[in-house]
Amino acid sequence: MLQSTPVQHVRRGSWLARRRVQLLGAMLLAGFGPLLWRFLFTPDAVWISSVNALYANLAAIALTMWLRLSVEPYPGIRSSYVILPTAAAAHGLVLAFFFFTRLPYDRVTFAAGFLIHVAWFYLVYFLVQRRTVLRIGVVPSGEWRRLLAIPQVEWVRLRTPDLVEGRRCDAIVADFVADLEPEWERFLADAALAGLVVYQVKPLAESLTGRVEVDHLSENSFGSLVPARGYFHLKTVIDFMVALLLLPLLLPVLVLASLAILIDDGRPVLFRQRRVGHSGTPFNVVKFRTMRIDTSGAQPDARDAAMTDALDPRITRVGAFLRKSRIDELPQIWNILVGQMSWIGPRPEAEVLSHWYTGEVPFYRYRHVVKPGISGWAQTNQGHVAAVAEIHRKLQYDFYYIKYFSPALDILIVFKTLKTMLTGFGAR
């Protein structure tokens, strides 16, 4: 079967690298292990609640594996980024089930299962997955040379259409658009029948780089320029509900940030800027003010004023921290509540910059086909950019997000955003 999104295959020599082995190990250690400990050392404490905790741990482990399989096929992600978040999400869902059903469960057994579950997969990552290098056999026809510039992959040029040589690789890639010779076409068919993963050059390049080339408009997985409308509307509802749930939790942070700005640089606390949103409709984005107000009376160039350099002298002391931690973006929860923005999507550009980019970069307006977001695929991979030369690559990331618009990609961006918030990557 032909696939267009690469999974990080592992060398066949390591049994611990196999998914089924990892899943079985997790179920034995994190599922049955805590219950066995109860039987051996505290048999009087074993009740139906302990058995319920066993089932809960097994369900959470299976759900975690499904979440990881949904997220990890995308490029630019390491297993180490998603082990803890996916395990916590799965165990949290199971815990919510017990909360609403009022079924008894052994809290100690359940908590021990979670800790062992996370520890097991981190152990697997450090022993096997961190050292894994994808080895892909390349059929030398068409645009295959474009792949050689992509790092962190061992590219093997296939000399002959020999299935024995192909089996030494983790996957095969070919340019299906090119006129392949009959023996190579038979080879690809035989490779697919033998269970080898066979990729197309262009989708593989997109998946490994996380970018879509913008030399022409690119259709999405369904052969359309418009992303899946069903998920688009569902995402709007999810954005609104999440904003309502998080607002009480974020309120103390919003208050503290406001006080810090007042003490450091006075009023105003908030900054409003005209930006371009979904369908090219302008709106006012709301952020915490992180830069000093220009009191010189000079009239700066609108384009220059909209750009911010990493060492911009206008940034205040508190503003530098707010930018690095992304706390300055939190007031945009208002833009989400009124339907102007999403949590995840291409960042909305200032109106003056958007007009400039539209005239300089081909197909720039296409990024407005989805709602802009507080965080996005480009931000977590590239960081903040403003120059036209950098915008071209940023647009490639935005096109990738639009083409593969899906819940799995949004979940991946959430994980990468958490890492960005901790490291301050791309802040300006």
110-149 confidence digits (pLDDT tens): 999 999 999 999 998 888 766 677 889 999 988 888 888 8
Query: If you search the block for the tokens 């949004």, which residue do you land on?
Result: 410
Residue 2: pLDDT band by 50, 70, 90 thresholds?
very low
- Tell me, what's the pLDDT at 296? 57
At 427, which amino acid appears? A
Task: Provide the 8-state DSSP code for 267.
Answer: S
- Sign of the Cα torsion 402, 407, 408, 410 reads positive
Least confident of 33-47, 168-182, 290-304: 290-304
| Average pLDDT for the chain | 83
- Tell me, what's the pLDDT at 223? 45
**CATH, domain range 134-209:** 3.40.50.10700
Task: Single out the residue of 118, 128, 130 nearest to residue 26, CA to CA.
Answer: 118
The two beta strands, 270-276 and 282-288, are antiparallel
Task: Single out the residue of 150, 166, 189 nearest to residue 1, CA to CA.
Answer: 189
> Who wins on pLDDT, 84 or 294?
84
Q: Is 154 helix (H, G, I), strand (E, B) or coil?
A: strand
Residue 307: pLDDT band by 50, 70, 90 thresholds?
low
Residue 70: pLDDT band by 50, 70, 90 thresholds?
confident
> Who wins on pLDDT, 253 or 307?
253
- Tell me, what's the pLDDT at 5? 44
Strand residues in 202-357 grouped as ranges (E): 270-276, 282-288, 342-344
> Who wins on pLDDT, 387 or 221?
387
- Orientation angle between helical segments 407-423 and 229-265, nearest 10 degrees: 20
Cα torsion 31, 32, 36, 37 to 10°: value is -20
Task: Provide the 8-state DSSP code for 148.
Answer: G
- Tell me, what's the pLDDT at 253? 94
236: burial class by Cβ within 10 Å (0-12, 13-18, 19+)?
middle
Contact assessment for residue 30 and residue 58, using Cβ atoms and an 8 Å cutoff: no
> Start-end ranges of CATH 3.40.50.10700 in the chain?
134-209
Q: Is the pLDDT of residue 13 over 70?
A: no
- Tell me, what's the pLDDT at 202? 83
